[in-house]
Structure 1
Amino acid sequence: MMLTGNRGLTTTEAERRFAAGQGNATPNGSSRSLWEILAANVFTLFNGIVFAGFGVLLALGRWQDALFGLPALFNTVIGVVQEFTAKRTLDRLAVLNAPTARVLRDGVSVEIPLERVVLGDFLVLRTGDQVTADARVVDTDHAGPSGLEVDESLLTGESDAIRKRADDEVLSGSSVVGGTGTAEVIRVGADSYAAQLTAEARKFSLVRSELRSSIDRLLKWVTWALAPMILIVANGQMQAQGGWGVAIASGAWREAVVGAVAAVIAMVPLGLVLVTSIAFAVSGVALAQRQVLIQELPAVEGLARVDALCLDKTGTLTTGEMVFDRVIGLRNVDGWEGVLGHMGSAPDANGTARCLAEPFGEAQAPVDPEIIPFDSARKWSGLVVAECPDDTVPAPGTWVLGAPEFVFHDSGDSDQRITDALAEAGHLAESGARTLILAHSTERPAASERAELPAALLPVALLTFREQVRDDAAQTLRYFAEQGVGVRVISGDDPRTVAAVARAVGLDCPEGRDARTLPEDLDELGEILEHERVFGRVTPRQKLAMVHALQRRGHVVAMTGDGVNDALAIKEADLGIAMDTAAQATKAVARLVLLDGRFDRMPGVVAEGRRVIANIERVSMLFLTKTTYAFAIAVVFGLLAWSFPFLPRQLSITDGLTIGIPAFFLALMPNTARYRSGFLKRSLAFAIPAGLIVTLALIAVHIAASQLGDVSEIELQSASTLTLAGIALWVLAVLARPIHPFRILIVLAMYAGLALVWIVPFLRDFFQVTWLSHDLGLFVLSIVAGGVVLVELLRAWHLRRISSRSEAVLQ
């Protein structure tokens, strides 16, 4: 395309401006920087508490009791390495799949990376392009009411296309939906909308979600409770040593400090956030290997929560490749073949129109017609042909190609030819063919800011097109039905055509709903969406309204699409999914991009999300059980002025074997459990009683030891360690169900690790544990057995509670 003779910048001048900092470079926002990853994993409140305790014990010469600092450091390193690995993978994919800009250089249209666009460049804009820098329109390829049509919905929320003429500004982040043209770049980088829109769309962010908000709320509770708990524990430990004065004078304060540090460290659920972040990162990499790009890692959780999936028919259920089928002549008007050939050969022709280039491209095309570009809202495009003495060119007047119902929506039954044409179009649509009508009028459109249909339009020909249904579509939709995900097929095509395709992939839909009959009220629209599944003639505004209507009714909505007209709905959906063929604007706002465009990736995507959230819930119960018994033990032993029953090094055994090591494996294992809301309530409903069972068992051991009379401090600590480990390991065994060979191996390995601590003399001496006397050993075994029974009863109650609540929700 060549417009006013603009040649654009020379390559040398563009390079000079780029070197001078006038490029469109913006920070890579697809993930956090290495420094941000380090800061997020290292400089945390809980790490501060842990490493402060670590430093105190080192200063006291109790390095053996400071071992908890090493796992904390190791966990932090793992978190940094895992997330940085995920960052590199996702950044590499983001670069490979980044949109490009089309500019004039040395008079030639070339595609360059977005950041290489410089001030003064001439953008070459075509239908479907995202404007990559703020620019001033220099020229368009047609004048009059047509102009260059730009969708600014991502900036303003208004889905109506805005017509741009010479000297008008086009803003980065907007999208070209009609026409072609050139525009001179006037703002780049951080000064333009693109820097804000694209960076925000691709930024690593903690997505608002139940999982994240629940964990954040929990950590806030723990943080507020830590300060008073530290005072209670410190005072209790000093009182256990004979009081503050005696403890300080005798040097027993050292043991009190060690006990206080052990109690405080036990309260901190250090690994919960870490394991969650790693699970997200690993899932991001796993999906990337399946050609699914996660633009925001925590969006993985959104995959599990989806219960309403809105699909665009074209490119999702079908391959998106249109093939011209046949033409049915209705009325003979000179030159109609040339009109179709011109429309099919236009640079901004959509996929359907391009199918006309081959069968009609050889016919004589009109000379310099005025073009009315296709608009997804009005569903038609047109040519205005001027009078010409040459009778071989198409007849003068206005030629319109579009959806029959839209081209003749105001015609009624005034003309039998129109009535017959619409009836024939209906029969063709019912067979599953996409049907367009070519109409002609000898009059021009009325002068208007918005293109209007001319008067006296009459049908000339019906054209049918076929789409190939994806081989995997039926199987994929069956999966969603089995998983309780409601599917809505939304398309701009004739509802009868959409319904025919939907039936071909197994959906039960006798007929599709014409979106033009849908109410504007969101509550009424939501009620219809609950019962109907297939919709045709849907406008971009209605796609957005459908997303909002479903959300208002409590659904978690995923929206797939590839067109510019899908972008706003994809952005507003809980989970936006773009196909590989999507326009740049659509990819920019989607949280997921199917890089190979395969719809059969979707079950794996949803399953991955459900695996993550189900495993995080399982692991969170382990951490919350520990936090519960740590707080309870601290309160009871502190208020009763009992010595804390563990050394920090002994807690390192129980933490590592019952939580730390198995949590990493359990968080990454397969899990097919469906998502259910109420994550935090369910976790606390199990963890608090489980933690109290452990606390009661330890109180019983302490009381029994005092009754026996001759129990040494090391024996009491050993008995307490065995009691805690025995019950906590059974909590692990319960949460590792349903039974799986690898889960069984994990639990048995942890039991073996505990046995080794007592069997190996070096480990026994290092951790300061000993074999128990006969009476104390029997009592510990009986307490652990009782604890195991109580945990099993708790599990049964918890499962019944979940089951009854699930049934109540379904009812």
Structure 2
Amino acid sequence: MHTDTDYAGLTAREVAQRVSAGHTNAVRDPSSRSAAQILRANVFTVFNALLAAAVLVVLLVGSWRDAVFGLVLVINTATGTLAEIKAKRKLDSLAVLATPLAHVVRDGTEQDVPVADVVLDELLQLRSGDQVPADGFVLQSTGLEIDEAILTGESVTVTKQVGDRVMSGTTVMAGTALVQIDAVGAQAYAHRLAAEARKFTKVHSELQAATNRVLTWIGYVIVPMTLILLWSQLRLSDAASWQAALVLAVAGVVGMVPQGLVLLTSVNFAGASLALARKQVLVQELPAVEVLARVDMLCLDKTGTITSGGVQLEEIRPTAGCSAPDEARARAALVTLVSAGDANATATAVASALADVPALAASHTVPFSSARKWAALVAADSPHRAYVFGAPEIVLATTDNQAAEDGAAAAALRDVAQLSRQGSRVLVVASAGDAAPLQDAAPQLPTDLRPELLVVLSEEVRDDAAQTLSYFRDQGVAVKVISGDNPVTVAAIAAKVGLRDAAGRAPVGVDARTLPPADEAEGQALADALAQATVLGRVTPEQKRDFVRALQARGHTVAMTGDGVNDALALKNADLGIAMGNGAAATKAVARLVLLDGRFSSLPRVVAEGRRVMANMERVAALFLAKTTYAALLAVAVAVAGVAYPFLPRQLTIVGVLTIGLPAFILALAPARRRYRSGFLRRVLRLAVPAGLLIGTSVLAAYFWLSSRGVAEKELTTGTTLVLIGGGLILLAQTARPWVWWRVLLVAAMAAVALLCVLIPAWRAFFLLTWPSGATWLLCAACWLVLAGTLEVLRRRA
């Protein structure tokens, strides 16, 4: 596209000079961690430091065999780091597909370049839906309206005239403009505010919050517990055996640290993001995966979700009483109106049908906006004559003759209602003899509008929409369609794809203009009205946001999908904003998920992935925290009783690997479709703490019973180790339900490896174990039977 020669923009040489000087818009995205940052985050943790110190102590005063838990630590950390880096690389490569483009003028030609490639002094074309990539001032403006919420905190559009400044991070809501850039990169407004252009409230991760809370508790307890255990073991030793006492104290500390819990959380998020990336779903914030499992309310914008976004022009019909000359002039005005704005699907369909119709010259235009729902022009050859194109019930709402049964407006609205019930989308072209209200700073509709043309459009319904809506209905997720279009039309289309209201009936469209406001006094009334509505039409961008907040106030976890700039406010405020890959740049910027291929049918897979993460993390978190509980109980018990700690670090390492480490990683990757319920930490602790106490008590009972019989030290250690492994495997079997074949095989394989540890001589020697006597086997069996019964009762109550 060529532009006015007065605004030819920079030459290729001038662009290259600015790039060499570093005057570009490229700024490192702080939300994307580098590989080095991921490595540091996985390696340099408090518990890793504690365990590394423990490894060092054991290597200095004990056997290298007791430092084998350090190898497990290295393997776990490496696994987590590699998984996150792999996910990061995939997401980064996918993010390129979602990178917004800037429309710049170079060498007299408009070009699309990544926003990072915009340079100082660049000429920039702005259109509706664009997010301003850098600071500048307006050279030309055609009804440019900017949402400056990033500056003021209020989503109020501001009209920009020639000479006015536009700031990076703001959003174009209507109109077009040519802007010259005078601040880029770190000097631009949005970057000075730490990338406020993409700012949205961080996802609240119940999983991360619960994990951090537990780790804080453990952090408070583990230091005094370590000192108490160290004191008790040193008190039992003499000057010649203090090294052995130190190793036993280390064993107690190692047992209390939930080594893989944080690691598994980050690996799970990264793995889910990678799995979704393979399905063309870009996760822009990893904890958003968790929110997927909690969603119980899905709000859909009709366009791009239920419908494909494609529009077909069915007909342009004159209204009753419209003369042939008036029809011809209205068609010419329509050509101008659809050509002046953005080339959206509606404008393209109408312009194609009227390709042979000459445009009507205009002296003034008002661009379309989602808030107004109309566009207008003032004829150049008749300064008092105006034409308006938009939603019939809004454009004709102020006409003087609407109340009259024989009025043209009333007749047109009756035709619109009939067409809307058939699922058609109808727009009106109306004329007015008083153009003055349109030329005010805040344009208003004239009151003498007369309908001239009805523009009848149809939209293509997605083939997969019905199946996708059926999935959400079966999963207990309520669905609401929130659209800016006619509510009757939207309801008819929603009914075609099987959407039903709470009573199972075809939905009735509700006009959002009839709903109570969202202020504090009426907020409850709005929430009540939304509870009864399934399809809402004529919704403004601000109302979409208010609807999301009202649903959240009722305790719903809300996901919102959309593709247009009018959806950005709602997506930003939703618990989970989901943008379509072909959506507006501003919308994708605030979304937490982007469906790059724009497929509505991807959403069930997205929800299933979130549920898998949460359900499996709940399983494995119970295993980790049960281990911490019984390790703490053992440490306290031996300190109070004044006896030696019953395990060496190498023995606790094999216990952890067989009952938690390997099974946890395998279980965390398993499919799980159960809908997530809030209360993650409460449920985990209700199972983990009592289970840990029961297992610890069984180990202590076996320890003291074997000690009272005077068995050899290896027999004593072997018996208590087997009781501990058996208790851990029983808990593993309980949390691994339902028992499908591979889960049964997993538990059996871990039990078989434990048996080999006392069966193979070399393994026995390494772990300082022995083949138990018959009496010890009977004791172990008795402990396992008691644990199996009590843990089953506990699981059912939890």
Task: Verify same fold: TM over 0.5.
Answer: yes
The answer as to whether partners of 1:31 and 1:203 remain within 8 angstroms in 2 is no
Give me the whole-angstrom Cα distance separating, in 1, the residues matched to 2:130 and 2:635: 62
Report the CA distance between 1:465 and its aligned residue. 0.4
Q: How does 1:12-27 map to 2 (within 5 A)?
A: 12-27=13-28
Amino acid at match of 1:773: S
Report the CA distance between 1:198 and its aligned residue. 8.8
Q: 1:510/1:794 Cα in 2 relative to 1: closer, same or farther (>3 Å)? A: closer
The answer as to whether partners of 2:146 and 2:158 remain within 8 angstroms in 1 is yes
Select which of 438, 444, 452 maps to 1:460.
Answer: 452
CA offsets, 1:52-102, max 9 Å, x none? 000000011411101101000110011111101111100111123211111
Give me the whole-angstrom Cα distance separating, in 1, the residues matched to 2:516 and 2:185: 42
Give me the whole-angstrom Cα distance separating, in 1, the residues matched to 2:687 and 2:10: 67
The answer as to whether partners of 1:434 and 1:494 remain within 8 angstroms in 2 is yes
Q: How does 1:86-165 map to 2 (within 5 A)?
A: 86-140=87-141, 142=142, 147-165=143-161
Q: 1:691/1:285 Cα in 2 relative to 1: closer, same or farther (>3 Å)? A: same
Superposition TM-score, scaled by structure 2 size: 0.95
Give me the whole-angstrom Cα distance separating, in 2, the residues matched to 1:507 and 1:407: 29
The answer as to whether partners of 1:307 and 1:556 remain within 8 angstroms in 2 is yes
Report the CA distance between 1:578 and its aligned residue. 0.2
Name the counterpart of 2:430. Answer: 439
Select which of 417, 422, 425 maps to 2:413.
Answer: 422
Give me the whole-angstrom Cα distance separating, in 1, the residues matched to 2:44 and 2:277: 29
Report the CA distance between 1:425 and its aligned residue. 1.1
Amino acid at match of 2:529: I
Name the counterpart of 1:806. Answer: none
Name the counterpart of 1:378. Answer: 372
Name the counterpart of 1:191. Answer: 187
Q: 1:701/1:572 Cα in 2 relative to 1: closer, same or farther (>3 Å)? A: same
Structure 1 regions of 5+ residues with no counterpart? Answer: 242-246, 389-394, 799-811
Report the CA distance between 1:160 and its aligned residue. 3.1
Name the counterpart of 2:42. Answer: 41
The answer as to whether partners of 1:29 and 1:200 remain within 8 angstroms in 2 is no
Select which of 428, 434, 449 maps to 2:441.
Answer: 449
Q: What is the SS of the residue equivalent to 2:516?
A: coil
- Residue 519, structure 1, aligned to residue 508, structure 2: no
CA offsets, 1:719-775, max 9 Å, x none? 110000011111111111101222122111101110111111111001000122232
Q: 1:205/1:750 Cα in 2 relative to 1: closer, same or farther (>3 Å)? A: farther
Give me the whole-angstrom Cα distance separating, in 1, the residues matched to 2:356 and 2:81: 62
Give me the whole-angstrom Cα distance separating, in 1, the residues matched to 2:153 and 2:543: 13
Q: How does 1:399-548 map to 2 (within 5 A)?
A: 399-411=387-399, 412-414=402-404, 416-446=407-437, 447-508=439-500, 509-520=506-517, 521-548=522-549
Report the CA distance between 1:347 and its aligned residue. 5.2
Select which of 166, 173, 177 maps to 2:162.
Answer: 166
Q: How does 1:196-215 map to 2 (within 5 A)?
A: 199=195, 207-215=203-211
Q: Equivalent pairs: percent with the same residue? A: 49
Give me the whole-angstrom Cα distance separating, in 2, the residues matched to 1:323 and 1:299: 36
Q: Which moved more, 1:101-110 or 1:282-291?
A: 101-110
Report the CA distance between 1:205 and its aligned residue. 10
The answer as to whether partners of 1:317 and 1:470 remain within 8 angstroms in 2 is yes
The answer as to whether partners of 1:543 and 1:566 remain within 8 angstroms in 2 is yes
Report the CA distance between 1:128 and its aligned residue. 2.1
Name the counterpart of 1:322. Answer: 311
CA offsets, 1:634-690, max 9 Å, x none? 111111111111011000110000000111100011111110110000000001111
Name the counterpart of 1:576. Answer: 577
Give me the whole-angstrom Cα distance separating, in 2, the residues matched to 1:417 and 1:598: 42
Q: 1:193/1:554 Cα in 2 relative to 1: closer, same or farther (>3 Å)? A: farther
Amino acid at match of 1:373: P
Select which of 250, 267, 270 maps to 1:278.
Answer: 267
The answer as to whether partners of 1:159 and 1:540 remain within 8 angstroms in 2 is no
Q: Which moved more, 1:26-35 or 1:723-732?
A: 26-35
Amino acid at match of 2:515: L
Amino acid at match of 1:231: L
Q: How does 1:581-620 map to 2 (within 5 A)?
A: 581-620=582-621
Name the counterpart of 2:213. Answer: 217
Give me the whole-angstrom Cα distance separating, in 2, the residues matched to 1:410 and 1:367: 26
- Residue 268, structure 1, aligned to residue 257, structure 2: yes
Give me the whole-angstrom Cα distance separating, in 2, the residues matched to 1:665 and 1:205: 33
Give me the whole-angstrom Cα distance separating, in 1, the residues matched to 2:796 and 2:483: 47
Give me the whole-angstrom Cα distance separating, in 1, the residues matched to 2:670 and 2:122: 51
Structure 2 regions of 5+ residues with no counterpart? Answer: 501-505
Q: What is the SS of the residue equivalent to 1:270?
A: coil
Amino acid at match of 2:776: L
Q: 1:203/1:41 Cα in 2 relative to 1: closer, same or farther (>3 Å)? A: farther
Q: What is the SS of the residue equivalent to 2:305?
A: helix
Q: 1:198/1:227 Cα in 2 relative to 1: closer, same or farther (>3 Å)? A: closer
The answer as to whether partners of 1:102 and 1:111 remain within 8 angstroms in 2 is yes
Give me the whole-angstrom Cα distance separating, in 1, the residues matched to 2:435 and 2:768: 96
Name the counterpart of 2:503. Answer: none
Give me the whole-angstrom Cα distance separating, in 2, the residues matched to 1:383 and 1:366: 9
Q: 1:552/1:204 Cα in 2 relative to 1: closer, same or farther (>3 Å)? A: closer
The answer as to whether partners of 1:614 and 1:675 remain within 8 angstroms in 2 is yes
Select which of 298, 303, 310 maps to 2:292.
Answer: 303
Name the counterpart of 2:724. Answer: 724
Name the counterpart of 1:639. Answer: 640
Give me the whole-angstrom Cα distance separating, in 1, the residues matched to 2:341 and 2:670: 50
Amino acid at match of 1:398: A
Give me the whole-angstrom Cα distance separating, in 1, the residues matched to 2:418 and 2:189: 47
The answer as to whether partners of 2:494 and 2:507 remain within 8 angstroms in 1 is no
Give me the whole-angstrom Cα distance separating, in 2, the residues matched to 1:65 and 1:37: 29
Give me the whole-angstrom Cα distance separating, in 2, the residues matched to 1:60 and 1:579: 60
Q: 1:274/1:675 Cα in 2 relative to 1: closer, same or farther (>3 Å)? A: same
Q: 1:761/1:31 Cα in 2 relative to 1: closer, same or farther (>3 Å)? A: same
Q: Which moved more, 1:377-386 or 1:353-362?
A: 353-362
Q: Which moved more, 1:167-176 or 1:618-627?
A: 167-176
Q: What is the SS of the residue equivalent to 1:316?
A: coil
The answer as to whether partners of 1:201 and 1:590 remain within 8 angstroms in 2 is no
CA offsets, 1:176-233, max 9 Å, x none? 2222221111211122244368956879997322111011001000000111101211
Q: What is the SS of the residue equivalent to 1:180?
A: strand
Give me the whole-angstrom Cα distance separating, in 2, the residues matched to 1:534 and 1:114: 37
CA offsets, 1:295-343, max 9 Å, x none? 1112100111111111000111001111111122111214122122222
The answer as to whether partners of 2:759 and 2:771 remain within 8 angstroms in 1 is no
The answer as to whether partners of 1:29 and 1:203 remain within 8 angstroms in 2 is no
Amino acid at match of 1:421: A
Any runs of at least 4 consecutive aligned residues in structure 1 with deviations exceeding 4 A, and if so which?
Answer: 196-206
Q: What is the SS of the residue equivalent to 1:365?
A: coil
Q: Which moved more, 1:698-707 or 1:210-219?
A: 698-707
Q: 1:205/1:367 Cα in 2 relative to 1: closer, same or farther (>3 Å)? A: closer
Q: Which moved more, 1:729-738 or 1:417-426?
A: 417-426
Q: How does 1:325-364 map to 2 (within 5 A)?
A: 325-330=314-319, 331-332=322-323, 333=326, 334-346=328-340, 348-364=342-358
Q: Which moved more, 1:774-783 or 1:581-590?
A: 774-783
Give me the whole-angstrom Cα distance separating, in 2, the residues matched to 1:652 and 1:201: 48
Report the CA distance between 1:148 and its aligned residue. 1.2
